[in-house]
Amino acid sequence: MSLTKYKLVLGLEIHLHPKINKKMFCYCSSDIWGKEPNTLTCPVCLGLPGALPVPNREAVEKTQLLGMALKCEINQKSRFDRKHYFYPDLPKGYQISQYKQPLCVGGSLKLDNGFVVELDRIHLEEDVAKSFHVNSQTLIDFNKSGVALIEMVTKPVFTNVTDAVDFCKKVQNIIRFLEIGDVDMEKGQLRLEANVSVRTEEMENANELAPYKVEIKNINSFKFLEKAVNAEFERQVEVFTSGEIPKQENRGFNEATGKTVTQRDKEEAHDYRYFPEPDIPPMEFDDDYLAGITSQLRELPDEAVSRYESMGISLATARTIVNNFGLDTVILFDQALKKGLDPIKSANFLVNKKEIIEAAAKGSEHLYSMLEQLIKGNSDNLDEEKLAGVIDQVLEMNPKAVGDYKKGNTNSISFLVGQVMKETKGGADPMVVRKKIEGKL
């Protein structure tokens, strides 16, 4: 049987650390990155007898803010539940999470290609400690124990992993725009889990799901998400092809072999014995409170892109500024615009000049003056005639790239565009340059 007969079904769980000063249920610092193990702990996050959790208001607010950005329904009544399982990194024998009444339910996000990702829920919980397996010993660092963790769960709506990666990147950017978290994947502030199953084309047409799912745990980069899902898809198709049904289980991605491997189950039978956390009163949010959260909603990345487009900036350029450069650049760029700089020219400088980004890092004044200088220095020269001259010159000086393009290697045009941009000190619109070069060749 061929691979194409089988279709991927993919759902995501995104775990992220909101940027708050304290842990979720105690007053320990949540600034754990690079800290000496077991130095940021207290009776609460160590699970000592008699210690009690007190929920962090800011974490609740940030979760609701994210829910609002993703068009979730914000529950007016919400509560925490205890999720029981035994594992050395879980000091109380249960994790305080949300089960029946999460903070946010439903919601959706539209990707750039138009695909709408439906969400199941967003809830708040506490992170567990970190285990290190050294030789035959297991060492545990409780600094991470009790750090607030927002969990976003999508419905199993993805049929390809590219959409899933796009979704993650988009969510990551929204989180950064709303300053909900830094979501630095290298620091473990954003972690992914993929629920993968496979179905036939007929099932896909009938909108039927497979009777199982395989959960790939702890994916810490978008690249690994892609690799892990593809590897798992292929594995499951092989299982099907051999006449069996893949079993429901947790698997991990082995970066070295590029394959997923079965993980020892945390509990033999998954019965988390959820019940309402009696140490924390149920939460109720009135309209005034929720209006306060709504007022924290800022312009979202897609809204910024639209705004730039309406100024005449090309969609690709606007997306580069907003999605690739992020909030800091958007803020500085907007400041420059406010001071009267030309939007299109400034935007083109931004996407073509890496030093601009470095300048941005040094502060808004520096960026502003640099933008100003570049525009002044180039705008005079950049009439149509001059640009045509520069293009001719570049084509002449790069016969190999021109030859490659003519042989069908369309990638080489990017190089030529880059050369033109360099010559014009970023003063040209790369889309225009590309068109002109294509015309000439």
At a CB cut-off of 8 Å and minimum separation 6, what does 325 contact? 350, 357, 360
Read off the amino acid at residue 324.
N
By beta-carbon proximity to other proteins, the closer residue of 56 and 329 is: 56
Residue 246: its H or E element = none
Q: What are phi and psi of 69, to 5 degrees?
A: -65, -30
Q: What angle do CA 329, 437, 396 make, to 5 degrees?
A: 110
By beta-carbon proximity to other proteins, the closer residue of 94 and 285 is: 94
By beta-carbon proximity to other proteins, the closer residue of 46 and 111 is: 46
What's the rounded Cα separation, in Å, for the pair 274 and 272? 5
Residues 24 and 174: beta-carbon distance below 8 Å: no
What is the smallest separation between the CB atom of 325 and other proteins, expressed in angstroms? Answer: 41
What is the smallest separation between the CB atom of 50 and other proteins, expressed in angstroms? Answer: 4
Check residue 182 and report its DSSP letter.
-
By beta-carbon proximity to other proteins, the closer residue of 50 and 439 is: 50
What is the smallest separation between the CB atom of 22 and other proteins, expressed in angstroms? Answer: 12
What is the smallest separation between the CB atom of 417 and other proteins, expressed in angstroms? Answer: 59
Q: Which residues contact other proteins (rule: CB under 8 A)?
A: 42-44, 46-55, 82, 84, 86, 88, 91-94, 271, 273-275, 278-281
Residue among 197, 195, 199, 171 nearest 185 (CA): 171
Residues 27 and 43: beta-carbon distance below 8 Å: no
What is the smallest separation between the CB atom of 142 and other proteins, expressed in angstroms? Answer: 9
Residue 291: its H or E element = helix 287-294
What is the smallest separation between the CB atom of 80 and other proteins, expressed in angstroms? Answer: 10
Residue among 178, 129, 128 nearest 151 (CA): 128
What is the smallest separation between the CB atom of 92 and other proteins, expressed in angstroms? Answer: 5
What's the rounded Cα separation, in Å, for the pair 184 and 373? 34
Structure tokens belonging to residue 296? 């924290």
What is the smallest separation between the CB atom of 55 and other proteins, expressed in angstroms? Answer: 6
Phi-psi region of 200 (alpha: psi -120 to 50; beta: other; left: phi over 0): beta
By beta-carbon proximity to other proteins, the closer residue of 46 and 290 is: 46
By beta-carbon proximity to other proteins, the closer residue of 264 and 338 is: 264
By beta-carbon proximity to other proteins, the closer residue of 279 and 299 is: 279
By beta-carbon proximity to other proteins, the closer residue of 34 and 49 is: 49
Residues 390 and 424: beta-carbon distance below 8 Å: yes
What's the rounded Cα separation, in Å, for the pair 148 and 25? 8
